[in-house]
Chains A and B, each alone.
Chain A
């Protein structure tokens, strides 16, 4: 069953504040293994290439089918979910690092609460009922609109787009591509559009849409192929119109 050993170079870090260091492992690989299944295997025998027994590598995973976003990390230098990174398709040795731009908790686990904070900041939700009940059904939307909106609903908040974005970082204000795409999605929703001006105002403040530098790495690395740069262009148009409404009256 075990086909071969594969060399893994893993950047490790024991605690949030401590210095990172590198360890090399020769991990057993089965057919059709992915990075997470190899890490699971390695956890049972955490021995480095030079025979030293070490603490098992800490990593995060959940769905194993690229829909939860928990396992995103830097694989051979590029951010991507590790459950869908097949060993057969990767260059060897395989270099694993924690997802950049987010604070490291331990080894390959990062704290992505900034993602959640930014989703809150741009009001990436839909108010179904207010202080009173509306008692009305969601309005119908066309098949075409539905198909376009669906693309954005696939976002799993993995953070790959944020990791690749030159304008996003721990010391930067930019909300990042994923929360912006959710503004695009919520503003197009038949009920969500009632709050679109509020969401646009949220992304017209510091760290909002205008902090995008159009490097367009986000759309290249997104594992769900979400048209993030189209969302940014459409929000550009929406904010231009919102600015005119604010300046001259709606």
Chain B
């Protein structure tokens, strides 16, 4: 009896859950951590942070297989199954039900944000060598426009919420937390993790504006 692997339904759903945490969620943590170093200024950011990553061997493969493809699968499969639910956040005003609804809203919002975000940085950098050379200056210039800053703040908190809530529901889905108390405790822990991660992200965004110097 190997029904669960003959039928891909279960494996696909669990893969969707897994990819959301590793590598996509883990990448978000790494990404926000790296960007939080913007406060050390253009020279440090461009040479040590961005330069260090750009000098990695096999970088395009890492970007493709560790970030792009898992993210595309997670987003695509999420979009494909989002129609299997109909949220009623106003009828059932329970916290978890609101999170359920917000998880789906944030997922769709993130896809739109990431199209802009990746387009404005990674894709634009492929055509514009000056962006690659001075990412700090590029980000500082972008974020000093209030609409872009607002967009990034929204995108940041959507991503952080989606990961933190996804972590707490994945723990139920995989069977890490079973009792109501365990689910509640882990939920608060994920909330604290989300707030910390969001703070690191905010610190990074503000760092671009506060730190001195555009082109190093």
Contact = CB atoms under 8 A, between A and B. Distances in A.
Contacts of B2: 246
Interface of A: 77-78, 164, 166-167, 169, 172-174, 197-198, 200-202, 204-206, 208, 210-217, 219-221, 227, 229-230, 232-243, 246-247
Task: Please classify the interface of chain A as helix (H, G, I), strand (E, B), loop, or mixed, using the class held by over half of its residues.
Answer: helix
Interface residues of B, number: 37
Task: Please classify the interface of chain B as helix (H, G, I), strand (E, B), loop, or mixed, using the class held by over half of its residues.
Answer: helix
Interface string B1-16: 1111101011101100
Contact of B173 (A210, A217, A242): A210
B55 interface: no
Given A169-B86, A236-B176, 19 more contacts: A172-B84, A208-B9, A210-B13, A211-B84, A213-B85, A213-B100, A215-B94, A215-B97, A217-B97, A227-B180, A229-B180, A230-B179, A233-B175, A233-B178, A236-B173, A237-B176, A237-B178, A243-B11, A246-B1
A216 B173 contact: no
B92 interface: yes
Contacts of A241: 175
B174 interface: yes
A3 B109 CA distance: 54
Interface of B: 1-5, 7, 9-11, 13-14, 84-88, 91-92, 94, 96-97, 99-101, 103, 169, 172-180, 182-183
Q: Please indicate which of the listed interface residues A169, A215, A220 has the most CB atoms of chain B within 10 Å of its own CB.
A: A215
A235 B10 CA distance: 13
A5 to B, nearest CB: 28
Given A215-B100, A216-B94, A240 B175 contact: yes
A193 B92 CA distance: 35
Given A206-B9, A210-B13, A215 B179 contact: no
